[in-house]
């Protein structure tokens, strides 16, 4: 009986794995290390995720809205990282250098030079 249970569990595991892999959830994010490539990815576009809309301009500004509050800040490109100083409403989110990667219409910012949490945005 244990063997049959293991086969059933294995079957559903592989079905889940196949569906998950084919959904694009494991698509590769290509790391952007060049400032010009980053600017090309975001220039004249809006970065969107639920309740968040941001614009990152080539002259180093960040503007937008998140959960009905304004977002403002500045960014620079330093040693292959997007480094930003950001305010959400009156709250100072501080300075952080982030790894940026791209996969199709998705751009990912990973805090602490790629070692921290990440946020995915749709580029439109």
Q: Give CA separation, 96 vs 77, 78, 114, in Å.
A: 11, 11, 11
How far, in Å, CA of 8 to CA of 1, rounded? 11
Amino acid 32: pLDDT: 97
Q: From 112, 98, 114, 118, select the one nearest 49 (Cα to Cα).
A: 118
> pTM of the full predicted structure?
0.77
| Model confidence band, residue 28 (pLDDT cutoffs 50, 70, 90) | confident
Write out pLDDT tens, residues 29-88.
Answer: 899 999 999 999 999 999 999 999 999 999 999 999 999 999 999 999 999 999 999 999
Least confidently predicted of 17-21, 24-28, 31-35, 64-68: 17-21
How far, in Å, CA of 74 to CA of 26, rounded? 31
């Amino acid at each position: 009986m244990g063997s049959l249970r293991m086969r059933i569990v294995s079957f559903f595991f592989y079905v889940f794995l196949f569906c998950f892999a084919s959904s694009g959830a494991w698509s590769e994010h290509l790391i952007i290390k060049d400032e010009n490539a980053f600017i090309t990815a975001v220039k004249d576009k809006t970065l969107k995720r639920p309740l968040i809309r941001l614009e990152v301009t080539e002259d180093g500004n960040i503007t937008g809205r998140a959960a009905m509050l304004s977002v403002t800040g500045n960014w620079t490109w330093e040693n292959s990282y997007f480094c930003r100083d950001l305010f959400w409403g009156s709250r100072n989110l501080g300075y952080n250098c982030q790894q940026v990667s791209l996969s199709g219409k998705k751009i990912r910012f990973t805090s602490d030079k790629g070692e921290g949490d990440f946020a995915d945005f749709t580029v439109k």
